């Protein structure tokens, strides 16, 4: 069996329809040529398994909840396995695999054959180091990886923020105070409901109980944009994408692959383990994705007695699912999950009382998404693609599109539940009353969309897009600041080019700072750091001391308003320093900061509260901003065990509210992670090419010259040209 053995190898194998060729272009990107799609998918399986085999296997183990079984003992692996088993990602993926359309299944099976052949003949060296023999790949593995890409750290954050809200209510935050933060909140609960919610059991609180909450008196990103030919030098559209995920890691999250099937080509950016290009371009179409913030998760408040849950006047049994989590070199762990008509219960119903159950709209989706996405990227026009993407029910994403005929468009995908009137899901829905159940799902044609906007451009940065639909889609969108800056730059000229797009993708002007400075400028002294901040040009340049001063002051505003006058400084510091939640939802907190008066100001005026925060912020050290933005790109397998396999430190440019977003935080387990552009991607539809710079390289092998070959270009803005 001929498989890939060397990076400089040009492999030709016999396919069912003819020869399959795999070689590399000048950048080390695999180029696959075949006569039909199943054969091309077989070649893709070989290429992904050779370049990213360990990454694929680790992701598959995460999805199946089997990290602890195969990797060295680590409590974090057990905790991760429990979470994945709770979502039952693997169980639902197996069911969805049985529902795949015949043609889609044929292609996925061909991809899996390529993976299996490569692993059998030339597996990654790490497999031998941990005595690991992979199980054969099958379509359900690809579906499972797709599910965790959607749920974990994206949709999952909706559950996290809602759990924080429950904790806030339990510590005295009133609905009126919540409504000042979450302006789409429509819930108006009575005291009886609030009393039940305050007594609800939260067995896995987002903010640990060891963090001290203050008593209150009762009174997780990306950008893309499309420009029509009316605003470009060439008269054809340009599409740009920059998925902002974690760059403090190697290998790179994405793998670039070129595929040629007859006259059709697809230059795609893939998640290893999934045979579909998340962003890319073909002869006719280009596309990119951002997270949509569509409402897809809700908590229900369940009343439990004698191990049963109440529905009206009846007490019904939960369905119990027992999972055995094997642990390497140790005894297995038994995890039990209890499910009802809404979802999975948080904890075990061993005591009477009130519990939370988590509902996920697309938990049982997958097969349709793989079919529709396949049809999407083989579409010839934006309009055709939009219809297919709208039906991708397992993916809660925004899609930017452009085609060679001159069209640009936007489409949101995902499955949005129909909620009862007056209830948006900021608070848990009363599970005992079926009147509060989800009433099915909005049809996909209700998802926000836009075709050929009159102004000649459009972009998304996870912002509020409810205005593009006649139904409510997003309750907790992210801040509009990055999207506003993108629109400002696009509107400024009508001769955009690839070069102007490159400049935009590295823009670090602080739109968020522009909106915040009027709230504090009059409180700043004219000398010292106050004077420095007064004169700031609002650009987060590496040598800017003013940018650091602003960040100090802004963080103190949050700690003062929501900590000292709210839930306690220690709680806010935990959320700011230990998760991505702040970077996803700071726009919601800003709703309060921009109010002239607020229940969060403790009876004082805004200026009185802000003056306290400004004074403390100005006392803090403020080095040049770039000195605060250093991270190391750590190998996901070896980490600090083999420092030579890491890269850096590097400097993450920008801040949370810049086009080139730069956020640094502690991920679960204490690892330093980021939100920053994992790849920058530009498609000029007047040509058959794209430009990109990747935070990494084609290979996962630390000894390979392709391991981090793209990092210097990514840091410097030196794009590579990719063409079929």
- Render pLDDT for 409-460 as a digit per residue (tens, 0 to 9): 999 999 999 999 999 999 999 999 999 999 999 999 999 999 999 999 999 9
Q: What is the mean predicted confidence (pLDDT) over 323-351?
A: 96
Phi, psi at 269, each rounded to 5°: -115, 115
Calculate what percentage of the chain has a pLDDT beyond 70.
97
- Which one-letter DSSP state was computed for residue 509? B
Poorest-pLDDT segment among 72-76, 253-257, 316-320, 712-716: 72-76
3-state SS, 262-276, equals: CCEEEEEEECCCCCC
What's the pLDDT at 216?
37
pLDDT in tens, 127-155: 988 889 999 999 999 999 999 888 775 78
Strand partners of residue 268: 257, 280
Q: How far apart are alpha carbons 98 and 102 in whole angstroms?
A: 10
The answer to whether position 46 is within a domain reads: yes
Q: How far is CA 474 from the centre of its chain?
A: 16
What's the pLDDT at 404?
98
What's the pLDDT at 669?
65
Q: How far apart are alpha carbons 450 and 446 in whole angstroms?
A: 12
Q: How far apart are alpha carbons 604 and 610 in whole angstroms?
A: 10
Residue appearing with tokens 């941990």: 130
pLDDT in tens, 502-531: 999 999 999 999 999 999 999 999 999 999
Confidence of residue 670 (pLDDT cuts 50, 70, 90): confident
The answer to whether position 45 is within a domain reads: yes
What's the pLDDT at 219?
35
The answer to whether position 70 is within a domain reads: yes
Q: How far apart are alpha carbons 199 and 415 in whole angstroms?
A: 31
Taken in order 537, 540, 543, 549, the sign of the CA dihedral is positive
pLDDT in tens, 177-221: 999 999 999 999 999 999 999 999 998 766 555 444 443 333 357
**Domain count along the chain:** 1
In order of 27, 30, 628, the CA distances from 8 in angstroms are 12, 10, 40
The answer to whether position 496 is within a domain reads: no
Calculate what percentage of the chain has a pLDDT beyond 90.
88
Confidence of residue 224 (pLDDT cuts 50, 70, 90): very high
What's the pLDDT at 289?
95
Flag whether pLDDT at 107 surpasses 60: yes
Flag whether pLDDT at 635 surpasses 80: yes
CATH of the domain at 55: 1.10.439.10
Q: Cβ(512)–Cβ(606) under 8 Å?
A: no
Which residue blocks in 594-702 are alpha helix, DSSP H? Answer: 606-619
Confidence of residue 1 (pLDDT cuts 50, 70, 90): confident
The answer to whether position 543 is within a domain reads: no
The answer to whether position 321 is within a domain reads: no
DSSP secondary structure, 76-129, as one string: HHHHHHHHHHHHTHHHHHHHHHTT--HHHHHHHHHHHHHHHHHHHHS--HHHHH
Q: How far apart are alpha carbons 708 and 73 in whole angstroms?
A: 29
What's the pLDDT at 207?
57
- Quick one: angle between helices 156-170 and 191-198, nearest 10? 100
Structural domain span for residue 101: 15-151
Flag whether pLDDT at 698 surpasses 50: yes
- Which one-letter DSSP state was computed for residue 8? T
Question: 105, 110, 123: which is closest to 45 by C-alpha?
Answer: 110
Confidence of residue 716 (pLDDT cuts 50, 70, 90): very high
Q: What is the mean predicted confidence (pLDDT) over 587-606?
A: 97
3-state helix, strand, coil in the chain (%, to 5): 40, 20, 40
What's the pLDDT at 130?
86
The answer to whether position 31 is within a domain reads: yes
pLDDT in tens, 484-502: 999 999 999 999 999 999 9
Flag whether pLDDT at 588 surpasses 80: yes
In order of 90, 114, 223, 259, 458, the CA distances from 52 in angstroms are 21, 13, 26, 17, 34
Q: Cβ(68)–Cβ(77) under 8 Å?
A: yes
pLDDT in tens, 16-36: 999 999 999 999 999 999 999
- The tokens for 533 are 């901040």
What's the pLDDT at 154?
72
Q: What is the mean predicted confidence (pLDDT) over 214-229?
A: 69
The answer to whether position 290 is within a domain reads: no
Q: How far apart are alpha carbons 336 and 180 in whole angstroms?
A: 38
Q: What is the mean pLDDT of the chain?
A: 94
Q: Cβ(573)–Cβ(541) under 8 Å?
A: no
Taken in order 286, 290, 292, 298, the sign of the CA dihedral is positive
Phi, psi at 701, each rounded to 5°: -80, 115
Confidence of residue 314 (pLDDT cuts 50, 70, 90): very high
């Amino acid at each position: 069996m001929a498989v890939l053995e060397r990076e400089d190898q040009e492999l030709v194998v016999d396919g069912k329809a003819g020869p399959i060729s795999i070689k590399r272009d000048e950048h080390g990107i695999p180029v696959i040529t075949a006569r039909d799609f199943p054969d091309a998918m077989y070649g893709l399986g070989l290429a992904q398994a050779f370049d990213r085999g360990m990454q694929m296997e680790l992701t598959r183990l995460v999805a199946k909840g089997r990290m602890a079984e195969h990797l060295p003992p680590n409590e974090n692996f057990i905790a991760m396995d429990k979470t994945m088993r709770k979502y039952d990602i693997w169980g639902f993926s197996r069911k969805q695999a049985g529902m795949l359309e015949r043609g889609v299944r044929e292609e996925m099976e061909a991809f899996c054959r390529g993976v299996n052949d490569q692993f059998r003949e030339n597996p990654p060296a790490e497999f031998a180091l941990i005595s690991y023999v992979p199980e054969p790949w099958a379509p359900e593995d690809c579906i499972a990886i797709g599910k965790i890409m959607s749920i974990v750290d994206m949709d999952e954050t909706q559950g996290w923020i809602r759990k924080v809200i429950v904790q806030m209510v339990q510590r005295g935050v009133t609905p009126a105070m919540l409504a000042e933060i979450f302006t789409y909140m429509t819930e108006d609960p009575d005291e009886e409901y609030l009393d039940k919610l305050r007594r609800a059991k939260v067995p896995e609180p987002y903010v640990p109980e060891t963090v001290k909450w203050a008593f209150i008196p009762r009174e997780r990103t990306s950008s893309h944009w499309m420009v029509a030919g009316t605003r470009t030098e060439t008269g054809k559209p340009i599409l740009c994408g920059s998925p902002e995920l974690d760059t403090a890691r190697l290998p790179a999250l994405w793998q670039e692959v070129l595929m040629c099937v007859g006259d059709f080509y697809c230059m795609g950016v893939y998640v290893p383990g999934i045979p579909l290009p998340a962003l890319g371009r073909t002869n006719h179409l280009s596309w990119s994705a951002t997270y949509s913030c569509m409402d897809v998760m809700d908590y229900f408040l369940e009343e439990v007695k004698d191990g049963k849950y109440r529905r009206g006047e009846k007490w019904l049994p939960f369905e119990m699912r027992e999972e055995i989590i094997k642990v390497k070199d140790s005894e297995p762990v038994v995890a039990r999950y209890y499910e009802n008509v809404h979802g999975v219960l948080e904890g075990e119903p061993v005591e009477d009382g009130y519990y939370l159950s988590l509902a996920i709209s697309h938990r049982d989706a997958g097969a349709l998404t793989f079919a529709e996405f396949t049809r999407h990227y083989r579409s010839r026009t934006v309009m055709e693609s939009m219809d297919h993407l709208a039906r991708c029910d397992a993916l809660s994403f925004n899609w930017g599109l452009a085609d060679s005929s001159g069209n640009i468009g936007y489409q949101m995908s995902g499955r949005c539940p129909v909620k009862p009137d007056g209830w948006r899901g900021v608070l848990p829905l009363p599970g005992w009353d079926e009147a509060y159940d989800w009433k099915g799902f909005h049809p996909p044609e209700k998802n926000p969309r836009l075709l050929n906007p009159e102004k000649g451009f459009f972009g998304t940065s996870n912002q509020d897009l409810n205005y593009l639909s006649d139904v409510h889609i997003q309750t907790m969108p992210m801040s509009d600041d990055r999207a506003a800056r993108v629109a400002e730059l696009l509107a400024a000229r009508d001769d955009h080019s690839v070069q102007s797009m490159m400049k935009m993708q590295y823009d670090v002007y602080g739109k968020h700072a522009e909106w915040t400075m009027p709230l504090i400028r009059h409180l700043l002294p004219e000398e010292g750091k106050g004077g420095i901040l007064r004169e700031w040009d609002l650009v987060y340049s590496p040598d800017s001391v003013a940018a650091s001063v602003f960040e100090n002051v802004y963080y103190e505003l949050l700690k003062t308003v929501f900590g000292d006058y709210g839930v306690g400084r220690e709680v806010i510091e935990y959320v700011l320093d230990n998760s991505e939640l702040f970077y996803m939802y700071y726009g919601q907190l800003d709703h309060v900061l921009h109010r002239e008066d607020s229940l969060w100001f403790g009876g004082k005026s805004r200026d009185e509260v802000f003056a306290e925060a400004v004074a403390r912020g100005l006392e803090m050290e403020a080095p040049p901003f770039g000195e605060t933005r250093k991270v190391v790109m750590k190998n996901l397998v070896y980490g600090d065990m083999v420092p030579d396999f890491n890269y850096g430190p590097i400097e993450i440019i920008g801040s949370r509210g810049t086009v080139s977003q730069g956020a640094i935080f502690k991920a679960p387990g204490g690892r330093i992670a980021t939100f920053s552009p994992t790849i920058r991607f530009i498609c000029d539809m007047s040509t058959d090419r794209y430009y990109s710079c990747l935070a990494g390289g084609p290979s996962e092998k630390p000894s390979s010259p392709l391991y981090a070959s793209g990092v210097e270009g990514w840091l410097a803005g030196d794009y590579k040209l990719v063409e079929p």
